[in-house]
DNA sequence: ATCATAGTCGTCTGCCTGACGATAAACACT
DNA sequence: AGTGTTTATCGTCAGGCAGACGACTATGAT
């Protein structure tokens, strides 16, 4: 039976990216300014159309590289350069989510270490890291006073879902290390958890927990004083991806 | 700026369903026989095209109702009839996953109580509940000897992802009750966990855990002996959706 | 009456966590 | 050099929870 193109409605398929990082003790997301209607001039999540010959993950990795220069960390390549974590988040397909046409967006979540200022097609003023609080808050604005919220389309919902995914996933996986540089201290890792969860953690219990979980952290032998105070041991992320028992997020 | 249809490649968008239930102490999934090429005669997950005016969740709920007659349980309607749990699972978009054309499939996961025999367009021989082990195993076949594996397209991967989602989600949520009838006993709930995880659980510790978790179970006052032995209390699912601390899955 | 089956209540022990005291090693002052 | 500040790291203790398992209860089957 030949294929009948009239048997189904055509869709546009895009990937949108929730790229998270921790800057200045705050969980931040990458936002780009829209250059064309709809929502011209408003901030949005980076993204774009999936190409004809591309897998969804490939498209997301391509967009991520275009926006940030980040390569995706491939677990199959252990000795690889430090790269970002990228995973599929969810798919959004409300018929009215884009006023122009029927668009289904496959959102992806990327976790990246603190990066230099972003570039978007070479134009820095059209891309920025903004604290997720500002992006999700009614009338949110950056430190420069520019309004950054509300985001275009349904991107506030997508960002919110991505943040919630990240918050819950660092509980039971070693993903928090994706926010850290290749070598980091226990204190730096703790400040990642504190920024993502928005809580304060006891440094002593945190230290006991992460150093006592087999495979989570591997000491590199070096030390650093870049945080001030007593020199701290440097670690790399160990091979373990699942934490058992998990890291417990404190109650409200 | 007008919309330019040549700016993006057109996709077909479908929803595929991983419908899980527990039958005869085994985790089973709904499978339908394909009536046309490609993969004609092979078993596949139920699914279909998303319509022009439909949200993804609506499309999934419609397909679920068409295949099983199940309504989706809406948390906003507390006094509602018993219904299935339905949630988005993941999206699959490999360019070659369907040889006919570019198809992106938004897979959904549904959990249902044990149901009467399925119907697929009224033809029972073209739909069946099959243990997920048989569906995922090389050369798997049903009790009638008919081969049910491998599934068509990338449906083995989708089913595998859905099963893994269900296995992990009943750890920290009350979702296991979605496999049970409206009223059930602690033992019936335990057998759900045992079937989904494929392990044996201590009845005494399980009883202590589920009855001691506030909001998980609400006693209805009734009892039943349908399992034989001493009469057991009947419970309904309580309002709690998140279990804290979680139910622990025994080690290998 | 006896047995088999399933449900329910307790006990004990070990592990993990949260709370928090104490010490160590750097830097910035005076 | 001494003092204070900051961060890191080790230790202690009590409470909670889970795994192992004994004991008892209430039904139906033989």
Residue A186 is part of a domain; what is its CATH number? 1.10.10.10
Nearest partner of A162 among A239, A92, A96, A104, judged by Cα: A92
- pLDDT at position B233: 98
Mean pLDDT of chain A: 91
| Between B186 and B228, residue with greater pLDDT | B186
- pLDDT at position B2: 45
Those residues with Cβ within 8 angstroms of residue B174's Cβ, 6 or more apart along the chain or in another chain: B216, B237, B238, B240, B241, B242, B243
Burial of A61 (0-12, 13-18, 19+ CB in 10 A): buried
DSSP class per residue in B116-159: SPP-STT-GGGEEEEEHHHHHSTT-B-TTS-B--SPSTTHHHHH
Beta strands A47-49 and A43-44: pairing type? unpaired
B68 lies in the same domain as B158: yes
The 10s digit of each residue's pLDDT in A68-79 is 888 887 655 555
Residue numbers in A near B93 (CB within 8 A): 13, 50, 55-56, 106
Q: Which nucleotides of C are covered by protein (CB under 7 A)?
A: 4-11, 16-22, 24-27
Residue numbers in B near A106 (CB within 8 A): 91, 93, 104
B65 lies in the same domain as B121: yes
Mean pLDDT value across residues B140-166 = 94
Mean pLDDT value across residues A97-104 = 96
Task: Determine, yes or no, domain membership for B243.
Answer: no
Reported confidence tier of residue A1, pLDDT bands at 50, 70, 90: very low
- Reduced to 3 states (helix: H, G, I; strand: E, B; else coil), residue B207 is helix
* Strand D within 7 A of A187 CB: yes
CB A236 within 8 A of CB A220: yes
Which of A1, A9, A55 to mutate: most B Cβ within 10 Å? A9
A124 lies in the same domain as A180: no
H-assigned helices in B78-154:
132-136
Minimal C-alpha gap between B7 and chain A (Å): 9
Task: Determine, yes or no, domain membership for B250.
Answer: no
- pLDDT at position A83: 76
Those residues with Cβ within 8 angstroms of residue B53's Cβ, 6 or more apart along the chain or in another chain: A95
Q: Which residue is nearest to nucleotide D22 (CA to C1')?
A: B204
B143 lies in the same domain as B181: no
| Between B138 and B91, residue with greater pLDDT | B91
H-assigned helices in B4-87:
56-68
For residue A118, what are the β-bridge partners? none
For residue A83, what are the β-bridge partners? none
Task: Determine, yes or no, domain membership for B252.
Answer: no
Residue numbers in A near B55 (CB within 8 A): 93-95
| Cα–Cα dist A217/A209, whole Å | 11
Mean pLDDT value across residues B13-42 = 96
Question: Nearest 5 degrees, angle CA A218-CA A223-CA A228?
Answer: 125
- pLDDT at position A69: 86
| Cα–Cα dist B19/B28, whole Å | 8
Question: Nearest 5 degrees, angle CA B122-CA B91-CA B108?
Answer: 40
Residue numbers in A near B11 (CB within 8 A): 10-13, 50, 104
Task: Among A172, A198, A218, identify where a domain stops.
Answer: A172
Task: Determine, yes or no, domain membership for A121.
Answer: yes
The 10s digit of each residue's pLDDT in B38-97 is 999 999 999 999 999 999 999 999 999 998 888 887 655 554 556 799 999 999 999 999
A142 lies in the same domain as A93: yes
Peptide linkage before B2 cis (omega within 30 of 0):
no
Nearest partner of B87 among B2, B195, B175, judged by Cα: B175
| Cα–Cα dist B20/B130, whole Å | 10
A218-227, B11-20, B132-141: which is most confident: B11-20
A122 lies in the same domain as A103: yes
Reported confidence tier of residue B109, pLDDT bands at 50, 70, 90: very high
B94 lies in the same domain as B189: no
* Strand C within 7 A of A229 CB: yes
**Exposure letters A109-145 (e unless 16+ CB within 10 A, then b):** bbbbbebeebebeeeeebbbbbbbebbbeeebebeee
The 10s digit of each residue's pLDDT in A115-142 is 776 665 556 578 999 999 999 998 889 9
B18 lies in the same domain as B133: yes
For residue A77, what are the β-bridge partners? none
- pLDDT at position A246: 96
- pLDDT at position B94: 98
Reported confidence tier of residue B118, pLDDT bands at 50, 70, 90: low
| Cα–Cα dist A198/A131, whole Å | 12
Task: Among A172, A187, A202, identify where a domain stops.
Answer: A172
Reported confidence tier of residue A10, pLDDT bands at 50, 70, 90: very high
* CATH assignment of the domain containing B21: 3.90.79.10
A47 lies in the same domain as A163: yes
Task: Determine, yes or no, domain membership for B249.
Answer: no
| Cα–Cα dist A219/A223, whole Å | 9
Task: Determine, yes or no, domain membership for B242.
Answer: no
Reported confidence tier of residue A179, pLDDT bands at 50, 70, 90: very high
H-assigned helices in chain A:
56-68, 132-136, 155-172, 186-197, 203-212
Q: Tokens 């958890």 identify what position?
A: A193
Minimal C-alpha gap between B55 and chain A (Å): 5
B182 lies in the same domain as B146: no
Which residue segment(s) compose the domain that B62 sits in?
A: 5-172
Task: Determine, yes or no, domain membership for A131.
Answer: yes
A136 lies in the same domain as A19: yes
Distances, alpha carbon A232 to alpha carbons A127, A159, A189, A192, A219, in Å: 35, 34, 12, 16, 11
Mean pLDDT is lowest, of A183-187, A225-229, B113-117, B198-202, for B113-117
The number of distinct structural domains making up chain A is 2
Mean pLDDT value across residues A22-43 = 95
Mean pLDDT is lowest, of A72-76, B51-55, B220-224, B244-248, for A72-76
Task: Among A147, A172, A197, identify where a domain stops.
Answer: A172
Mean pLDDT value across residues B133-143 = 92
Longest CA pairwise span in chain A (Å): 73
Task: Determine, yes or no, domain membership for A246.
Answer: no
Q: Tokens 């290390």 identify what position?
A: A177
Q: Which residue is nearest to nucleotide D16 (CA to C1')?
A: B245
Nearest partner of A114 among A224, A235, A237, A22, judged by Cα: A22
Reported confidence tier of residue A197, pLDDT bands at 50, 70, 90: very high
B56 lies in the same domain as B160: yes
Distances, alpha carbon A199 to alpha carbons A28, A196, A248, B36, in Å: 16, 8, 12, 56
Nearest residue in chain B measured CA to CA from A37: B1
Burial of B48 (0-12, 13-18, 19+ CB in 10 A): middle
| Between A202 and A116, residue with greater pLDDT | A202
In terms of phi and psi (left: phi > 0; alpha: psi -120 to 50; beta: otherwise), the region of A157 is alpha
């Amino acid at each position: 039976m030949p294929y009948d193109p009239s048997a189904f409605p055509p869709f546009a398929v895009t990937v949108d990216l929730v790229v998270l990082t921790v800057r200045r003790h705050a969980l931040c997301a990458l936002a780009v300014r829209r250059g064309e209607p709809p929502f011209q001039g408003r901030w949005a999540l980076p993204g774009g159309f999936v190409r004809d010959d591309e897998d969804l993950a490939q498209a997301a990795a391509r967009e991520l590289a275009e926006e940030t220069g980040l390569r995706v960390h491939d677990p199959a390549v252990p000795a690889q350069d430090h790269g970002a974590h990228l995973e599929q988040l969810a798919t959004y397909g409300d018929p009215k989510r884009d006023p122009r046409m029927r668009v289904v967006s496959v959102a992806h979540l990327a976790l990246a270490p603190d990066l230099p200022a972003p570039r978007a097609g070479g134009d820095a003023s059209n891309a920025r890291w903004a604290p997720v609080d500002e992006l999700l808050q009614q009338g949110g604005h950056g430190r420069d006073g520019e309004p950054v919220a509300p985001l275009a389309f349904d991107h506030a919902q997508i960002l919110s879902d991505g943040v919630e995914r990240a918050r819950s996933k660092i509980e039971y996986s070693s993903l928090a290390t994706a926010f850290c540089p290749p070598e980091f201290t226990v204190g730096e890792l703790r400040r990642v958890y504190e920024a993502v969860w928005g809580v304060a953690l006891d440094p002593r219990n945190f230290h006991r927990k992460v150093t006592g979980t087999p495979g989570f952290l591997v000491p590199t032998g070096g030390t650093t004083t870049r945080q001030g105070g007593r020199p701290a041991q440097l670690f790399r992320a160990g091979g373990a991806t699942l934490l058992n028992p998990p890291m417990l997020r404190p109650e409200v």
